[in-house]
Chains A and B, each alone.
Chain A
Amino acid sequence: MKGRFSWFNATSITLGFAFLYIPILLLVIFSFNESKLVTVWAGWSTKWYSSLLQNQGLKDAAWVTIRVAVVSATVATVLGTLAAITLVRMGRFRGRTLFSGMIFAPLVMPDVITGLSLLLVFVALGIDRGFWTITLAHITFTMCYAAVVVQARLQDFDKSVEEAAMDLGATPVGTFFQVTLPIIAPSVISAWLLAFTLSLDDLVIASFTTGPGATTLPMKIYSQVRLGVTPEINAISTILVGIVTVGVLSAAYFTKRQTERAERERRKAFGAAG
Chain B
Amino acid sequence: MAVATAQPPANAPSQQRAGPRTAAPQSGFAPWKNPSLPPIVRFENITKRFDDFVAVNNVTLDIYEKEFFALLGPSGCGKSTLLRMLAGFERPTEGKIIVAGQDITELPPYERPVNMMFQSYALFPHMTVEGNIGFGLRQEGMPKDKLAERVDEAMGMLELRQFAKRKPNQLSGGQQQRVALARAIAKKPRIVLLDEPLGALDKKLRQQAQFELMRIQETTGTTFIIVTHDQEEAMTVASRIAVMEKGVLVQVATPGDIYENPKTRYIAGFIGDVNIFEGTVSKVAEGCIEIEGKDGYKFKTRSTEAVTVGQSVCLALRPEKIRIGREKPATDLNVIPGKVEDIGYLGSISHYHVRTAPGERITALRANAAHAVEQSITWEDGVWLDWPVDAGVVLAG
Residues of B within 8 A of A171 (CB): 110
Residues of B within 8 A of A170 (CB): 110, 135, 139
Residues of B within 8 A of A167 (CB): 87-89, 109-110, 112, 114-116
The answer to whether A20 has its CB under 8 Å from any CB of chain B is no
The answer to whether B187 has its CB under 8 Å from any CB of chain A is yes
Task: Please tell me which one of the listed residues B89, B136, B202 contacts residue A168 in the complex, with CB atoms under 8 A apart.
Answer: B136
Min distance, Cβ A149 to any Cβ of chain B, angstroms: 19
User: Which of A57-65, A116-124, A190-198, A266-274 lies at the binding interface?
Assistant: A266-274
Task: Please tell me which one of the listed residues A158, A168, A272 contacts residue B176 in the complex, with CB atoms under 8 A apart.
Answer: A272
The answer to whether A160 has its CB under 8 Å from any CB of chain B is yes
In the complex the two chains form, is B173's CB within 8 Å of A169's CB? no
Residues of B within 8 A of A23 (CB): none
Given contacts A167-B115, A171-B110, contact A269 B120 (CB under 8 A): yes
Number of interface residues of B (CB under 8 A): 32
In the complex the two chains form, is B89's CB within 8 Å of A182's CB? no
Q: Which of B4-24 contact A (CB under 8 A)?
A: none
In the complex the two chains form, is B118's CB within 8 Å of A163's CB? yes
Min distance, Cβ A176 to any Cβ of chain B, angstroms: 13
Min distance, Cβ B342 to any Cβ of chain A, angstroms: 30
Q: Which of A21-80 contact B (CB under 8 A)?
A: none
In the assembly, what is the distance between CA of A212 and CA of B298, in Å?
104
The answer to whether A161 has its CB under 8 Å from any CB of chain B is yes
Min distance, Cβ B165 to any Cβ of chain A, angstroms: 18
Min distance, Cβ B236 to any Cβ of chain A, angstroms: 20
In the complex the two chains form, is B110's CB within 8 Å of A164's CB? no
Min distance, Cβ B139 to any Cβ of chain A, angstroms: 4
User: Nearest CB to that of A272 among chain B residues?
Assistant: B173
Interface residues as binary, A158-187 with B (CB distance below 8 Å gives 1, 0 otherwise): 101101111111110010001100110000
Given contacts A167-B110, A182-B126, contact A272 B140 (CB under 8 A): no
In the complex the two chains form, is B118's CB within 8 Å of A169's CB? no
In the assembly, what is the distance between CA of A161 and CA of B200, in Å?
17
User: Nearest CB to that of B176 among chain A residues?
Assistant: A272
Residues of B within 8 A of A182 (CB): 126
The answer to whether B201 has its CB under 8 Å from any CB of chain A is yes
The answer to whether A89 has its CB under 8 Å from any CB of chain B is no
Task: Please tell me which one of the listed residues A168, A178, A265 contacts residue B115 in the complex, with CB atoms under 8 A apart.
Answer: A168
User: Nearest CB to that of A268 among chain B residues?
Assistant: B169
In the assembly, what is the distance between CA of A168 and CA of B193, in Å?
12
User: Nearest CB to that of A175 among chain B residues?
Assistant: B110
The answer to whether A264 has its CB under 8 Å from any CB of chain B is yes
Min distance, Cβ B84 to any Cβ of chain A, angstroms: 9
Residues of B within 8 A of A183 (CB): 124-126
Interface residues as binary, B140-182 with A (CB distance below 8 Å gives 1, 0 otherwise): 1000000000000000000000000000010011101000000
The answer to whether B122 has its CB under 8 Å from any CB of chain A is yes
User: Nearest CB to that of A170 among chain B residues?
Assistant: B139
In the complex the two chains form, is B116's CB within 8 Å of A272's CB? no
In the assembly, what is the distance between CA of A168 and CA of B111, in Å?
9
With A169-B187, A183-B126, A271-B173 given, can you name 20 additional A-B contacts, CB distance below 8 Å? A160-B122, A163-B87, A163-B109, A163-B122, A164-B118, A165-B135, A166-B110, A167-B116, A168-B135, A168-B183, A169-B136, A169-B140, A170-B139, A178-B135, A183-B124, A261-B169, A268-B169, A269-B120, A272-B174, A272-B201
